[in-house]
C-alpha cells in the first residue's frame, strides 16, 4: 500500500544535506512496512536490524566506532552495506538507546550511508534519553494512520484520487460521484486508517475480520501500558484511552475523564498517551496573525484519537451494516476525520500541532473547530456533519478577528459565496463580510485546500 510519505523519503535519499532519519509515529501506523518497501525498491542493498527481535545486536552498538559496527552487522547478517547504495534500517531502536546516540557518529564518519531508524514508544525514549541526544546530527519524519486518499488508493480507487487532487471550483462534481465518495467516507469512518485494518478490508471485504484487527491493535496499545509505572497508573491510562473517543470535539475536563483520580494524575496519563501518539491534543489559541502557537491557552484543549476506526471500535459501533448505521456521533466523527486529514498534510519533517478557537463568555460562547495557516494567513475551519448548520460562531470569529476567508467542511457539494451579515460582538452589532468556501469532507486534501484558499 503506497504511502504519501514515500515521496518525502525519496527526497531525503537524494538530498546533499541528508542526515540519519528517525521516523516517529504511533504503534502500527505502518512505519516498518513503508520503510522496508522503500529500502527494497530504491537501494541495491537493504539491511534491517530489529533490536526487539534480535536483542543480542545491542552489544554491537556499545562502541562509537561506526566502522566496527558496520563490519559486525555484515558478519552477523551476511549482507553487504556500502555508502551510496545501501539502506541500513534500525528498527525498534527504542530498545537500544545507545544506538540513537551513535547516529551522530554515522553522520560525522559515514555521511554517505543512508540510515533510517524507527520504533514504537520512541518518543518516550527520546524524552528520557540518558545518553547525549545527537542534536543537529539527525533529522525527523512523522507518520500517522493512512489518510482518506491513501485509503482510496489502497482499495483500488486511484482514479478517484487523481480526480479529486485536480479539483477546481470551475468543475461540477456529478451527484453520482459525490454520493459514491460520501459512501466511501462512511466506510473509512469505520475501517479507519490503520494499515492492517485497510489490508484486511481490501483482501477479505469482511467487516468482522476488521473488528478483530481493531481489537488486537487496541489490546496491544493497552499491553504497552504495562511499561508505565504501577498497576493503578496503568488502569488510569486505560480509562483515559477509552474516554477520548467519547470526548472528541469537547473541551477536555479531567473530572469528566475520571471523577475519582486527582487531576494531576489524569493530566500525567493524558501526556503519556500524547507522547505515545495515541492522543493528539488540539490547543486553543487567540492568535490574530501567524504563528498560531503565539496565542495558545495551555489550560484549554480538545483531543483527537489516534484513528477514527479505532475510535468507533471503542465506542462499540458494530460494523455489520455500515450503510444502515446512523449515529449520534456524526458531528464528532466529522471533526475526527478532518483532524486526521490535517495531520497528514506535509511537510513530513514537522511534528504537527492542531489548533482551535473558543470564547467562553456568559451568553456569548463561540467556538471554531480548527484554525490553520495557509499562505501566511490564519483560516478558520467550521466542520458540519450534514449539509447545513448554523454559522453563528464563524460570523463572530470573522468579525472579531477581521478575517477575509473561511472554510466550511460538510457533506454538501463544493461552493463559494460572499457572506454579508450583522453579528453581536461584545454587546455591539458589527457588520461582517467574508468569502466562505464550502467543501465536502472528501476534499480535505492539502493540494486542494491550498489552491482554493489561495485563489
> Which pLDDT tens digit goes with each residue over 135-167?
789 999 999 999 999 999 999 999 999 999 999
The cell 483527537 sits on which residue?
304
Residue 130 predicted with pLDDT over 60: no
Q: For 369-419, write each residue's pLDDT tens digit.
A: 999 999 889 999 999 877 767 799 999 999 999 999 999 999 999 999 999
* pLDDT of 318: 66
pLDDT tens profile 339-357: 999 999 999 999 999 999 9
CA distances from 278 to 27, 198, 273, 333, 349 (A): 8, 18, 5, 16, 19
The pLDDT of residue 427 is: 80
pLDDT attached to residue 178: 96
* Mean pLDDT taken over the chain: 91
Q: Assign 327 a pLDDT band (cuts: 50, 70, 90).
A: low
Q: At 124, is the pLDDT very low, low, confident or very high (cuts 50, 70, 90)?
A: low
Given a cut of 60, whether residue 326 has pLDDT beyond it is no
Confidence of residue 363 (pLDDT cuts 50, 70, 90): low
Residue 353, Cβ density class (10 Å: 0-12 exposed, 13-18 middle, ≥19 buried): middle
Q: CA 364, CA 400: separation in Å to the nearest integer?
A: 13
Q: How far apart are the first and last CA of the chain?
A: 33
pLDDT tens digits for range 170-218: 989 999 999 999 999 999 999 999 999 999 999 988 788 999 999 999 9
Measured distance CA(306)–CA(327) in Å, rounded:
20
pLDDT for the residue numbered 320: 54
Residue 126, pLDDT score: 63
All structural domains of the chain, each given as residue ranges with its CATH number in brackets, are: 5-142 (3.40.50.300), 152-454 (no CATH)
pTM, 2 dp:
0.94
**What does the alpha-carbon distance between residue 336 and residue 214 come to, in Å, rounded to a whole number?**
17
Give the tens place of pLDDT for each residue, 164-176: 999 999 989 999 9
Taking 3-state DSSP, the helix, strand and coil percentages for the chain, each rounded to the nearest 5, stand at 45, 20, 35
Residue 441's φ and ψ, nearest 5 degrees, are -50, -35
Average pLDDT for residues 34-39, to the nearest whole number? 98
Amino acid at each position: 500500500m503506497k504511502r504519501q510519505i514515500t515521496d518525502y523519503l525519496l527526497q531525503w535519499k537524494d538530498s546533499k544535506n541528508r542526515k540519519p532519519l528517525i521516523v516517529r509515529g504511533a504503534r502500527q501506523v505502518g512505519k516498518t512496512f513503508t520503510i522496508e518497501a522503500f529500502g527494497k525498491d530504491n537501494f541495491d542493498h537493504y539491511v534491517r536490524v530489529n533490536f526487539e527481535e534480535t536483542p543480542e545486536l545491542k552489544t554491537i552498538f556499545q562502541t562509537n566506532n561506526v566502522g566496527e559496527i558496520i563490519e559486525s552487522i555484515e558478519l552477523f547478517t551476511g549482507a553487504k552495506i556500502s555508502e551510496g547504495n545501501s539502506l541500513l534500517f534500525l528498527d525498534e531502536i527504542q530498545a537500544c538507546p545507545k544506538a540513537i546516540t551513535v547516529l551522530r557518529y554515522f553522520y560525522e564518519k559515514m555521511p554517505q550511508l543512508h540510515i533510517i531508524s524507527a520504533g514504537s514508544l520512541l518518543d518516550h525514549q527520546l524524552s528520557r534519553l540518558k545518553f547525549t541526544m545527537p542534536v543537529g546530527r539527525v533529522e525527523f519524519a512523522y507518520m500517522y494512520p493512512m489518510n482518506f486518499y491513501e485509503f482510496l488508493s489502497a482499495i483500488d480507487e486511484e482514479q478517484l484520487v487523481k480526480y479529486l487532487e485536480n479539483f477546481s471550483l470551475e468543475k461540477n462534481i456529478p451527484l453520482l460521484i459525490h454520493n459514491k465518495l460520501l459512501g466511501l467516507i462512511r466506510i473509512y469512518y469505520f475501517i479507519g486508517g490503520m494499515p492492517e485494518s485497510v489490508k484486511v478490508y481490501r483482501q477479505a471485504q469482511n467487516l468482522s475480520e476488521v473488528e478483530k484487527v481493531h481489537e488486537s491493535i487496541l489490546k496491544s496499545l493497552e499491553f504497552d501500558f504495562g511499561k508505565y509505572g504501577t498497576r493503578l497508573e496503568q488502569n488510569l491510562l486505560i480509562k483515559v484511552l477509552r474516554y477520548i473517543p467519547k470526548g472528541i470535539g469537547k473541551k477536555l475536563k479531567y473530572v469528566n475523564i475520571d471523577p475519582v483520580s486527582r487531576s494531576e494524575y489524569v493530566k500525567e496519563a493524558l501526556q503519556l498517551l500524547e507522547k505515545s501518539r495515541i492522543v493528539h491534543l488540539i490547543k486553543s489559541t487567540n492568535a490574530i496573525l501567524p504563528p498560531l502557537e503565539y496565542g495558545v491557552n495551555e489550560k484549554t484543549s480538545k483531543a483527537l484519537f489516534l484513528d477514527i476506526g479505532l475510535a468507533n471500535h471503542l465506542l462499540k459501533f458494530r460494523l455489520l451494516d455500515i450503510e444502515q448505521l446512523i449515529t449520534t456521533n456524526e458531528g464528532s466523527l466529522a471533526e475526527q476525520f478532518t483532524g486526521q486529514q490535517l495531520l497528514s498534510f506535509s511537510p513530513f519533517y514537522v511534528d504537527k500541532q492542531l489548533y482551535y478557537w473558543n470564547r467562553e463568555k456568559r451568553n456569548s460562547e463561540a467556538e471554531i473547530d480548527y484554525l490553520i495557516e495557509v499562505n501566511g494567513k490564519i483560516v478558520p475551519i467550521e466542520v458540519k456533519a450534514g449539509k447545513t448548520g448554523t454559522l453563528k460562531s464563524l460570523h463572530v470569529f470573522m468579525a472579531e478577528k477581521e478575517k477575509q476567508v473561511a472554510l466550511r467542511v460538510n457533506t454538501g457539494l463544493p461552493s463559494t459565496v460572499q457572506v454579508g451579515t450583522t453579528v453581536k460582538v461584545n454587546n455591539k452589532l458589527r457588520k461582517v463580510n467574508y468569502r466562505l468556501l464550502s467543501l465536502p469532507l472528501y476534499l480535505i486534501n492539502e493540494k486542494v485546500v491550498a489552491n482554493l484558499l489561495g485563489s
